[in-house]
Amino acid sequence: MPADPDAPFDIARCLERVRARDQEAARELVEHLYPLVIRIVRSHLPRRVPEEDLAQEVFMKMFTRLGQYQGAMPLSHWVSRIAVTTCIDHLRAQKRRPEFRWADLSETEAEVLDSVITNENDVAAGDAFAARELVHRLLDQLKPEDRMVIQLLDLEQKTLAEISALTGWNTTLIKVRAFRARRKLRKFFQELKKEERS
């Protein structure tokens, strides 16, 4: 008999079936967790890595380590941590971070950067996409862990507790990473300002 689509997803029962090597249960688990995984993957996607490949890698790790999952935390938190660490591993593997130069920016991106640096004009609503691209270019300059923290705090506006649940890092470590990232960004903006004046 097919499952009722409106019934709440029974994770415990599904895990039990997956552990008993039930392929249908494994497929249901992937479908259930896909939105969570793809949200993390899309937000922290390293350049040149297709999101589907990264999502698949996260799920493969999840199934490989399912024996270690003791149920001490919600499954969604556990899978989030796997997704976060997988993204960080890929970001780390990109050894060389692309250099940020005015010359590489599109016209709109340069205008947006100019307006936020000089603080003269507000960024136009239509330039939001360019602003997002710029933010990602700037985040590329940071260490993967610092980038993850600052992105979750400032872009996704998550609380320290939420970031801690998502990454498994304690709040002190998160604050240290955020402080380090902001200091680097501040320095970077100062350099850009100097460059712009010259």
Partner 1 sequence: MNPATPRTTAWKRLTEAARRSQFEKVSDIPAPYGFATRVAARALSMPPTSAGPFFVAKLTLRGLCVAGLLAIVSVTINLGPILRNIDKAAGDLGGTSIEAVEVENNTEVPAQP
The answer to whether 29 and 3 are in contact (CB under 8 A) is: no
The owner of tokens 């799920």 is 59
81 to 120: interface string for partner 1, x by CB under 8 A: -------------------------------xx-xxx-x-
- Return the number of other C-beta atoms located less than 10 Å from residue 148's C-beta: 27
Rounded CA Rg of the chain: 20
The answer to whether 49 and 63 are in contact (CB under 8 A) is: no
Please state the closest distance from residue 96 (CB atom) to partner 1, in A. 24
Nearer to partner 1, 164 or 188 (CB): 188
42 contacts partner 1 (rule: CB under 8 A): yes
Rounded Cα distance, 122 and 119, in Å: 7
Site for partner 1, rule CB under 8 A? 19, 21, 23-24, 26-31, 34-35, 38-39, 42, 52, 55-56, 59-60, 63-65, 67-68, 70, 112-113, 115-117, 119, 122-123, 125, 127-129, 131-132, 134-135, 138, 154-155, 157, 182, 185-186, 189
